[in-house]
Amino acid sequence: MRILSYEKLLLENKAWAEEQQQSDPQFFTRLSQQQSPEFLWIGCSDSRVPADKITGTEPGEIFVHRNIANLVVNTDINMLSVLQYAVEVLKVKHVIVCGHYGCGGVKAAMNQHHYGIINHWLKNIKDVYRLHREEIDALPLEDDRVNMLTEINVREQVFNLAKTSIIQKAWKEDNRPHLHGWVYGLNDGIIKPVCEMEPGTKIDPLYEYDNL
């Protein structure tokens, strides 16, 4: 009998649940009662960059938000809700923005092609590109230019996190979370840390709220 692709997912799920139950009989009871992840992961939606698999984390260990090109956009109510919940309720200690080399979103933002509604999202990356145009365009190879913008984009998104009142308030009141910018390599599976911001890091005063 031919098994349809989505039916395979359900069969695999059953096998996984049984295996999990056998190796750790309390697993589901424990996790169904509460979650207390130490990490919030903001990553790219790309199917090749699964947050838990590449970090060896188990269910319950990492709270995840993913979008195209791992952006932190200050009008994105979805991202802000995840961030607020993770920081204020789950009290995560680390927020990780993880991009990846060869990111299609970053690549698409660097050309003039009209992609439809996604243009609005990619514009956020175009803005980052414009700010760093000279150093990026100095590189002769397209792949290198994409990868450089990928790293710069991650730095910018970490900075965007630090600009939010959610992060500034938690830094002030609870001395957390620690912010990290990472880039994952599709070629070798290795994550390269590119920047970090400890709680209380000084940012441009223009973005610092003085009455939190």
Residue numbers at the binding site for Co ion (CB under 5 A): 44, 46, 103, 105
User: Is 40 or 106 the residue whose CB approaches Co ion more closely?
Assistant: 106
Least spacing, CB of residue 105 vs Co ion, in Å = 5
Query: What distance in Å separates the CA atoms of residue 95 and residue 106, rounded to the nearest whole number?
Result: 21
Least spacing, CB of residue 51 vs Co ion, in Å = 13
**103 is an active site residue:** yes
Query: What distance in Å separates the CA atoms of residue 182 and residue 102, rounded to the nearest whole number?
Result: 14
Annotated catalytic residue, options 2, 24, 30, 46? 46
Least spacing, CB of residue 100 vs Co ion, in Å = 6
Name the β-bridge partners of 100.
184
The residue assigned the tokens 């290198």 is 144
Least spacing, CB of residue 131 vs Co ion, in Å = 20
> 161 near 80, Cβ under 8 Å?
no
Annotated catalytic residue, options 24, 30, 65, 100? 100
Residue 76: how many other CB atoms lie within 10 Å: 16
User: Is 14 or 48 the residue whose CB approaches Co ion more closely?
Assistant: 48
User: Is 8 or 123 the residue whose CB approaches Co ion more closely?
Assistant: 123
User: Is 170 or 194 the residue whose CB approaches Co ion more closely?
Assistant: 194
- Alpha-carbon torsion (206, 208, 211, 212), positive or negative: positive
Annotated catalytic residue, options 2, 24, 30, 48? 48
Annotated catalytic residue, options 65, 98, 103, 145? 103
Least spacing, CB of residue 129 vs Co ion, in Å = 15
Annotated catalytic residue, options 2, 24, 30, 44? 44
User: Is 146 or 170 the residue whose CB approaches Co ion more closely?
Assistant: 146
**48 is an active site residue:** yes
Query: What distance in Å separates the CA atoms of residue 89 and residue 31, rounded to the nearest whole number?
Result: 17
Q: Measure Cα distances from 167 to 22, 118, 172, 196 in Å.
A: 40, 28, 9, 14
Each residue of 31-62: b (16+ CB within 10 Å) or e? eeeeeebebbbbbbebeebebeebbebeeeeb
**46 is an active site residue:** yes
Query: What distance in Å separates the CA atoms of residue 106 and residue 125, rounded to the nearest whole number?
Result: 7
For the annotated catalytic residues, the residue numbers are: 44, 46, 48, 100, 103
